Structure 1
């Protein structure tokens, strides 16, 4: 068995393996959510392309390797992205196992703001968004919870696939759409992805989805900062400096859309 380590931000150790002649991704120490997802949920999610489960050995999860990465620009112009996400969000499947609980706590906000050291006005705006955030977590629909461009790829036949399902849970579609907007995003960029997504799922009013998207994007800032710091990620300083430079202006630019 040969292997190549590809671990990045995740808590599990991830490597490329060849198992009985088949290229696989091995996640050592995979979470209960992801193990149960591949065993129970994946076969029931029609319309969503998910890597095949090759083997489960204790907490070692062997899944199909998706060989080709895809850039965020290409994802943004690919209609299959919103089509697949809409299929997931409209699914009637009810998980029989505990899924990831997504939430935005006071503790998380306090920790992230102490690191970011933003102006008082920006801190107040973030705290306001947190106070409004129950709307994105109380939705009963299924979500991936982690749709950043690093978690998409294509098979050799060009088929688009979404992988890394350890944050599978319930929430607003906005949680899955927000990472597909470059950077923090302008209101016009949110309007564009809402139009694209609404072609496949029009169950949420566009004004509501806009509000949810902005809140979700702000929540992602808090999540990313705290994850980077807790895992001693070597890129932490770069991200923190970028957020310090861009978050205050972004918050001002989206305030009227809330």
Structure 2
């Protein structure tokens, strides 16, 4: 199941595992797999990836993140074979409870720490995720959504340029299910497959469940909390609360379109219809004169 090097490390360090669970939520079509192993009373996460970027996070950046108070799972072992990248990491015991899914201050502070400490800097990551609006995104979005949204989609495309500006390093996918809590209460961010350089708005938007609020109240609260962390530091944040709020809305709609386009072929029909219905509603609210 695992490369010999992984099995040898686990056996020599911890002993024989008793149970293996394959975890959901990974993109097996792109060569990613993830398992939870139990050895005695201890559990581990073993993950395989085709891309090197998440491997680099755990292999090279753990110390930097710890120093900057960006908590990620502890790294026990990493291994690179001819085609894949493997890592054995800490299994975070508790999920982020749903009552903390909307503008959690501690969550926003972790993202601020990440963005502030990498502002206009680069890290040792192989092939960072390419955050952009591709021609294929527009084409496939128009094949899934009503033709009456064509002008609105193009307007969103034009407005999205700012969110792709590589001003800092971002997680790329800090959705509520990618956070966990240690037994000591510490908040931990995992799943770094889409990590790269872009605007903080993308990370902030992806923390929001579904498509956010129609009146932008949650987006405004998140922008306000986030910008407060920038007060008194050595770098001046370049956007107002209102500007960041608008960027978060744009980033949320882009990420929803990106998810829809890349997962339409594998989503169950009812879930696909739900995503499409919510996007149509969001476009009608944001672009009432164009829909």
Q: TM-score, normalised by structure 2?
A: 0.79
- Counterpart of 2:262 in structure 1 is 227
Q: Which has the higher contact order (CA 8 A, sep 6+)?
A: 1
Deviations 1:214-256 (A, max 9, x none): 21111112211122135x2xx4423321133222231232348
Any unmatched runs of 5+ in structure 2? 1-16, 232-236
- Counterpart of 2:282 in structure 1 is 250
- Counterpart of 1:60 in structure 2 is 86
Distance 1:111 1:60 in 2: 33
State the shift of 1:30 in Å.
5.0
- Counterpart of 2:195 in structure 1 is 168
- More divergent stretch after superposition (211-220 vs 243-252): 243-252
CA contact (8 A) 2:175 2:208 kept: no
Q: Secondary structure at the match of 1:199?
A: helix
Deviations 1:63-103 (A, max 9, x none): 11111111343132532111110000101352133311111
- Counterpart of 1:201 in structure 2 is 230
Any unmatched runs of 5+ in structure 1? none
Given the alignment of the two structures, is residue 183 of structure 1 paired with residue 218 of structure 2, yes or no?
Answer: no
CA contact (8 A) 2:73 2:91 kept: yes
Q: Secondary structure at the match of 1:227?
A: helix
- 1:1-258 maps to which residues of 2 (within 5 A)? 1=17, 2-11=19-28, 12-18=32-38, 22-45=42-65, 46-58=68-80, 59-76=85-102, 78-92=104-118, 94-97=122-125, 98-114=127-143, 116-120=144-148, 122-185=149-212, 186=214, 187-201=216-230, 203=237, 204-229=239-264, 232=266, 235-255=267-287
Which is greater in Rg? 2
Quickly say closer, same or farther: Cα 1:137–1:19, change in 2 above 3 A: farther
Quickly say closer, same or farther: Cα 1:132–1:91, change in 2 above 3 A: same
Distance 1:21 1:69 in 2: 19
State the shift of 1:22 in Å.
4.1
Quickly say closer, same or farther: Cα 1:177–1:107, change in 2 above 3 A: same
Q: TM-score, normalised by structure 1?
A: 0.89
CA contact (8 A) 2:181 2:187 kept: yes
| Residue-pair matches, total | 251
Q: Secondary structure at the match of 2:257?
A: helix
CA contact (8 A) 1:126 1:218 kept: no
- More divergent stretch after superposition (236-245 vs 82-91): 236-245
Distance 1:237 1:140 in 2: 38
Distance 1:224 1:9 in 2: 14
Distance 2:167 2:137 in 1: 23
- More divergent stretch after superposition (45-54 vs 11-20): 11-20
State the shift of 1:21 in Å.
6.7
CA contact (8 A) 1:139 1:171 kept: yes
